[in-house]
Amino acid sequence: MKKELKTKVAIEFNEIGFKEAADKFERKLKIETNLLNELERILEKPQPETILQGDIYTNFLKALAKNKAAANTLNLDAEMLVHVLKIDISELKNLVSDYELLRDVEAPQKEQFTLYARNDEQIQKLDFANRVLALAQEFTAIEGNHVYGNHLIQAFRPQVLTHTNTVLKINLHWIIN
């Protein structure tokens, strides 16, 4: 009797990669918040988040020209208005530069960092390797003897198992290929 296999089974979750992506996304959100606060400080009123769409610096200049229209009796362009009014925009430029590097960063999804066995052959290989590991753990628990990784690797070839220091692991390359 053949058992029915799943369509995909998680093999491994890349926790380090996920954490790095989450940190990068948090950095983007922090810069975004600082950017909106800096725009509010300079323009003297809160700005909608739409100001961050497209070219932020151009959007800032448009908002500045609109906001300072009453004070702009000489009809200066926004760049000149910044100089005439002696507005310090150095922090704004730094934040815009940092934000541009992270603009396309999106919230990480766990699926992006999970390696899956996606077909019957890969799922069967994963099941086999898991049974070999379980057998080694059971033997160690019952007999109190340590199962040496090299012995298991010799018995089941390095295609099935690998080891790092003293920890036996499933050889992911064997399962996926």
> How high is the pLDDT of residue 17?
96
> How high is the pLDDT of residue 159?
62
Mean pLDDT, 10 residues at a time, the chain of 177 residues: 68 94 97 95 88 92 89 87 91 96 96 91 88 77 62 65 66 79
> How high is the pLDDT of residue 132?
81
> How high is the pLDDT of residue 145?
60
> How high is the pLDDT of residue 161?
64
d(CA 141, CA 160) in angstroms, rounded, equals 22
d(CA 133, CA 88) in angstroms, rounded, equals 63
Give the start-to-end residue ranges of the domains of the chain.
15-102, 117-176
Residue 127: which residues within 8 A CB-CB, separation 6 or more? none
> How high is the pLDDT of residue 92?
95
Percentage of the chain surpassing pLDDT 70? Answer: 80
